[in-house]
Amino acid sequence: MRSTQCVVMCLLAVALRDTVAQPGSMNEPQSTSKNTTAAEITGFDPDIKFMIDTWPQGPSTNGFSCALQFVRPAGDRGLLPICYVNIINATTNMVRSGLNLPREVLLQVDLYDAVGKAAEKTSAGKLFSPWTPKEIDDWFHKQVQENRRGRFFGLFPFSYTQINCFRVPEVFQLKTPGLYTLHVRMPLIQSKADASGNVHLETLWLPEVVTAIQIRPEDISSTAGAAGLQTNSPPPH
């Protein structure tokens, strides 16, 4: 009896295998073309996509892009407006070791008026200055040696991560209300290990975000007293 059952089970397994492997079968596994984008495989949560589609964004490179979100908190007239800088991950990959550099090192920001004249930067704005690759590498290894928390940020697949923020009146000397153009650019720097276990930094520059921003009269009056948001200022070097 047992041998009969075994024969029947084997025959059923062969039949099932042939059905699955048969070309054109409804049960045939669908292969994914290497040209298929990540968004076509899964995609964003509809609510997240609806939100980030309203943000000014730079073009995507390798599935990553920089996006800005402007907020004017009610009742916070002395500190307006705030620009949140985000990275959008439109891939299936989880980034676990994005380098959380100080914003003055990470962000390149410029503001132009309606005739294309660059707005002067405040004393806080003048601190925004890129480091050399060696300075970044030295900073990273010091963070690792001292085992400091917060040296990395993560990027979940099909989501966004807020990287940093700044108050526009804090960074720029606003003298005249009107329509301005804000330029923001930043790199995505990741810590990676090769096959030998040696750690190196890999830099991917994200395309610049260029967007119009309305400077209101209350933004002008807030310039002198604008307080900073930064808590990760770069050390002197």
pLDDT 10s digits, 14-69: 443 443 333 333 333 333 334 434 344 458 999 999 999 999 999 999 999 999 99
Tokens standing for residue 169: 């009146």
Domain-located, residue 142: yes
Domain-located, residue 20: no
User: Under a CB-based contact definition with an 8 Å cutoff, are residues 115 and 90 in contact?
Assistant: no
Domain-located, residue 228: no
In angstroms, rounded to a whole number, what is the distance separating the alpha carbons of residues 167 and 142?
29
No. of helices (H) and no. of strands (E), the chain: 7, 8
Residue 124 belongs to domain with CATH number:
2.70.220
DSSP state of 155: E
Considering only CA atoms, which of 52, 38, 65, 86 is closest in space to residue 204? Answer: 65
Domain-located, residue 184: yes
- The more confident residue out of 228 and 112 is 112
Considering only CA atoms, which of 134, 118, 52 is closest in space to residue 85? Answer: 52
User: Under a CB-based contact definition with an 8 Å cutoff, are residues 56 and 209 in contact?
Assistant: yes
Q: What is the pLDDT of residue 75?
A: 57
User: Under a CB-based contact definition with an 8 Å cutoff, are residues 156 and 94 in contact?
Assistant: yes
20-34, 164-178, 190-204: least confident range: 20-34
57-66, 190-199, 222-231: least confident range: 222-231
User: Under a CB-based contact definition with an 8 Å cutoff, are residues 128 and 102 in contact?
Assistant: no
**Which pTM does this prediction carry?**
0.74
- The more confident residue out of 167 and 10 is 167
Residue numbers of the domain that contains 152: 36-222
Q: How far is CA 193 from the centre of its chain?
A: 21
Domain-located, residue 2: no
Domain-located, residue 58: yes
pLDDT over 90 percentage in the chain = 55
Q: What is the pLDDT of residue 68?
A: 97
Domain-located, residue 134: yes
In angstroms, rounded to a whole number, what is the distance separating the alpha carbons of residues 66 and 205?
10
Coil vs helix vs strand at 60: coil
Query: What is the chain's mean pLDDT, rounded?
Result: 79
Q: Report the number of distinct structural domains present in the chain.
A: 1
DSSP codes, 106-124: H-EEEEE-TTSPBPPB-TT
Q: What is the pLDDT of residue 27?
A: 35
